[in-house]
Structure 1
Amino acid sequence: MKKIAIIGGGIVGSTAAYYLSQFDKKNEIQVTMYDDGVGQATKAAAGIISPWLSKRRNKKWYNLARDGATLLAKIAKNTNMNKDIYNQCGTIITRDSPKKLNELYQKAIERNKETKTIGDVYQLDAEEVKYQIPLLSKSVPGILVTGGARIDGAKFAEHLKDIAKLKNLTIINKKVSINNRGKIQLGDDELAYDNIVVATGAWMRNTLDNLPLKVDIRPQKGQLIEISVNDLEQNKKNMPVLMPEGERDFIPFNDGRLIVGATHENDQGFDLKPSNEVIDDLLASANRLVSGLNQDNLIKIKVGTRAYTSDFAPFFGSIPNYSNIFVGGGLGSSGLTTGPLIGKLLANLILKNKKIDLEQYRKPINNYIQSNL
């Protein structure tokens, strides 16, 4: 019996657990997940899956995000995922000038040639954007890609863990670390596993603190607000998500909720307290596109901590000098898109299932985790 531990039950850990349960055809794997859930970015995340028109120039990141979006659609189909978890409702990205809009459209056409997950591509005028999202009191022209999706990170992770628990996953809601012998430390108990996956996001440095390693991880605070739009006559079902130029992302859900955000705050450390100033800013952004919203529409505030690296690129693989310990982190704001593919790749690496060209997706892990020995 192969014993595997996963530390962290967010987007990477939950997907790794799911694939370890799917790859276990002969009941030869036992998986234990340790997760205290504090500050987890996935639990606070409702996001947009639409990487194809990103301004980022990192080719390896784009490959990871592009194939991550394709994998997400496959997971949703294969696991009969409800649309309140993952919904391929389309994404509209707006631009404030005809030149910028045409450049974006041409980029979308080119990206459509290399991946069909992007779906159909349409150039919309302001009235057509408003037709797609009637909530908008102000709209500008944009590009619609029908393959874009919205995702509820917390529900996604729970859905996959529930499937894995039916096969070979046990979850322990306690905080653990790696001790100086490379074992799991749970209180006074040292626990040995054949392989360990560390997927603790911004807390990875703390998890690995007892090992002689230098870890390039820093926290970034993210806040978003959830607004009720049930009382607006313009509300309709299955609206696309919106990435408006110069404003926060808008994610409308079918049950009359609108998510606005999230922020990217680099100087707040691990602070998980909502900020009134930020909430006012998010509400003001919402009001610039949907008039009439105020504090009475506010349902809840979500706060999480993302993990970033110094060059804003994610990393994954086995740790230098500790070949049985695997990590996946530094995902930043693209975690809901890239995390599932990283989780699957880690499961493959542990079980040596497939020969995959990992270098198309990552820079050397030594760029982010270095031995101090």
Structure 2
Amino acid sequence: MSTYTIAGGGIAGASIGYHLAKAGHTVTLYDRADTGQATAASAGIICPWVSQKRNKNWYRLVTAGARYYPEFVETIEAETGVSTGYKREGALCLFKDDVVLEKGFNRIHSKKENAPEMGEVYKVQREDVKKMHPHLTDLYPGVYVEGGGQIEGANLLKALKAGFLHHGGQWINQDFEHKKAEGLLIYASGAWAIEQGYQPEIRHQRSEVFHFEVEEAVKTADTPVVMALGPIYLVELGTNKYAIGTTHVETESFSAEPSQENYEYLKGLAQRYFPDSQIRDINMMVGLKPFARDYMPYIGYVEKNVFVANGLGSTGLTASPVLGREVAKFLNGEETELNFDDYSYL
């Protein structure tokens, strides 16, 4: 067995730590719990098949993540007794008109042959949208993907930490210093990678999410994730509670204070997509999402005894569980599903 030190207790670092500890290694993880950690502010949509990104390496990573989720969640919840909030009520992708709907359906449905975990994929006409989601506007038709799901980022992190400790890992809530490293050092420090001094360059985007409640007599739960027009999503957080996001602004700031401008923008979108509902504010969440060159994550060695896993951006919750599994296999010298040459591009 080997010794590992992990710098960063976000979803990627926690997943790597969990899988390494489960494999019997000695693992120490340092986390200073910076405000603005992307995990806590993410809506956690697990539906990579609807993306229009063309990068094949990225797509292999996120689809492997979605495929691994049911098995992973079942295992970690059984080990820890911590609910991750994972559920699959499907995803409803809205399109502005019937012409775009047809193109979107053909694009999404064509991926099903290589991804049976998508389940049923079919078109939803405007008049049927409210049967799936009573609060939602019926202005737009959509495509329904049965296998679409969601995960609660904060709860998933709690489960990973509990699983890590369950398998003998040591979690230290303090800043990491390089001299503290024992064995192989793994950096998974997210947006704060700027402090570590290693390539690749990690930049970050500020992402804001508006949480709100629908004040109606009709109680609605177990609704599908909604992928709305543009880079906008709506995710149910419980009975009549939702989150809408997201804004993506590249920044050098590490402030996690919500902006009035984005609050007004997102609340306006909530009223647009829930036009017949009375909306009550809950709060605004801010996350700092790291990204690397060409928005591709970097996973690999940067020098002999230093390994980096970073740059997952908005796909962190989709990809991190399988990333942890694959990194543990790779470091164990086992066969991996992913080819790490695709992600260690320095």
Q: Is TM (by shorter chain) over 0.5?
A: yes
Per the TM alignment, residue 80 of structure 1 is displaced from its structure 2 partner at its CA by: 3.4
- Write out per-residue CA displacement over residues 60-102 of structure 1, whole angstroms, 9 at most, x where no aligned residue: 1111111111112221122337776211110000111222211
Partner Cα distance (1:83, 1:163) in 2: 12
Unaligned runs of 5+ in 2: none
Partner Cα distance (1:292, 1:298) in 2: 16
Partner Cα distance (1:200, 1:326) in 2: 12
Task: Spell out structure 1 runs of 4+ moving beyond 3 A.
Answer: 80-84
Moved more, 350-359 or 57-66: 350-359
Distance 1:214 1:13, change over 3 A: closer
Percentage of pairs with the same residue = 29
| Structure 2 partner of 1:136 | 136
Partner Cα distance (1:222, 1:258) in 2: 17
Contact 2:49-2:108 at 8 Å conserved across structures: yes
- Write out per-residue CA displacement over residues 328-353 of structure 1, whole angstroms, 9 at most, x where no aligned residue: 11111111112222222222222223
| Structure 1 partner of 2:168 | 168
Partner Cα distance (2:28, 2:161) in 1: 11
Partner Cα distance (1:281, 1:161) in 2: 35
Per the TM alignment, residue 356 of structure 1 is displaced from its structure 2 partner at its CA by: 4.6
| Structure 2 partner of 1:257 | 241
Per the TM alignment, residue 363 of structure 1 is displaced from its structure 2 partner at its CA by: 4.1
| Structure 1 partner of 2:113 | 113
Distance 1:83 1:236, change over 3 A: farther
| Structure 1 partner of 2:61 | 64
- What is the TM-score of this pair, normalised by structure 1? 0.86
Partner Cα distance (2:149, 2:228) in 1: 15
Partner Cα distance (1:326, 1:51) in 2: 26
Partner Cα distance (2:38, 2:160) in 1: 17
Partner Cα distance (1:214, 1:5) in 2: 19
Contact 2:258-2:284 at 8 Å conserved across structures: yes
- Write out per-residue CA displacement over residues 243-288 of structure 1, whole angstroms, 9 at most, x where no aligned residue: 1113621001233310111210113532211101100100000000
Trace 1:1-373 onto structure 2 (pairs within 5 A): 2-24=2-24, 29-38=25-34, 39-80=36-77, 85-177=85-177, 184=178, 190-206=179-195, 208-209=196-197, 213-229=198-214, 231-246=215-230, 248-267=232-251, 269-291=253-275, 297-319=280-302, 322-359=303-340, 362-366=342-346
Contact 2:135-2:277 at 8 Å conserved across structures: no
Contact 2:77-2:159 at 8 Å conserved across structures: no
Partner Cα distance (2:19, 2:325) in 1: 6
Partner Cα distance (1:289, 1:86) in 2: 24
Contact 1:14-1:158 at 8 Å conserved across structures: no
- Decide which structure has greater helix share: 2
Partner Cα distance (1:235, 1:84) in 2: 23
Aligned AA (1:78): T
Unaligned runs of 5+ in 1: 178-183, 185-189, 367-373
- What is the TM-score of this pair, normalised by structure 2? 0.92
